[in-house]
Structure 1
Amino acid sequence: YIHMVGSPENRTTFIRSALVFLRLHEFDGMDIDWQYPGENGSPPEDKLKFTVFVKELRQAVEQEAIDSMKAPLIISSKVSAIKSTIENAYEIAEISGQLDFMTILSFDYHGHWDPVTGHNSPLFRSSVDSGNFIDHNINSSVATWLAGGAQADKLLITFPTFGRTFLLSTSQTGLGAPANGPADAGPYTREEGF
């Protein structure tokens, strides 16, 4: 995504080819899964470039629908659930006005990368959450999106059907128990911590 949003020419090339591909294969639309503009090696200015990209994509979709006399393609995006990432990665009100819906990736709030155990996808803050973890829950994520100007009818949340495992550091076994990395891989996932 970094290269694609980097110039007007790259965005135009991507948008044109994506629309042709979607119509050729009779898709209803596209879902953007960039984790995340302005983070994970993406420069801070990609936050603004993502907004520009989404606006240009919306304009192209609307024009393509007029030209083809077909229903407009759906444009959606996966978005972060973590408050600091939401604030760093998105111009919320602007993208909300352009996207048909946004799917909040409301899982992996806690995992083996944390020093203590926690629920993978909690609806609300737990009694053991403190510090940076107080906003690591679905309720806080949705509140952050709404406070930033997202349209409520465009927000979707995910409910994972998987869990995370922890290697415990002590005999404690509840939420907030000291942990030291991922538990051993199981027979189905064959992946530590999953």
Structure 2
Amino acid sequence: MTTKSTKTKICIGAPIEHESERKFLSSIVSWLEEKKIPSIVLANIELEGRQIDCVIATADSASVVEVKTSRLPIRGEANGTWMRLSASGEWKEYTNAYQQAVGAKNSVRDAMQAAKPVGHFYPDGYVVFTSPIPEGSVVTPGNFKALVTTIELFPGQLKTVGASPWSLADWEVFA
């Protein structure tokens, strides 16, 4: 019996300060290894002044992930400011994670295009909550530009086969 060895290469741009981002990185790398999917994972990188939580590249797919967590209810749609219920009971402005994910994936695409032409290709975008989305939250599920999901559901939604014009060798050069 032959077992296929998988190497998930991990490149970390800066120390990962948020526990939610460490949890996500550990989870996705474990899943990629378990499924034996050759991949490169870029974590906490900066491109053109924009911080990117995570890029997951396989032989023919690329996904950009904005990692979030919240213990308090949140609400927000694709457009506009998101709100989070504060401990005092007031709704306060909260960064629109959907827009962050779309902006991050567009930044990654622009950086890819600058390094090597990608035509009309865009990476997939995701907002992944590493804790359950709190009860009382009303959040967009996302759309074709970026999905909003949880760490438990993400592996089933991650596209590991796609139409990326970049190979893993291209990603290694990029990293």
What TM-score comes out, normalization by structure 1 length? 0.32
> Which structure has the bigger radius of gyration?
1
Higher-helix-fraction structure: 1
Instruction: Report 1 or 2 for greater relative contact order, CA contacts < 8 Å, sequence distance ≥ 6.
Output: 2
What TM-score comes out, normalization by structure 2 length? 0.34
Higher-strand-fraction structure: 2
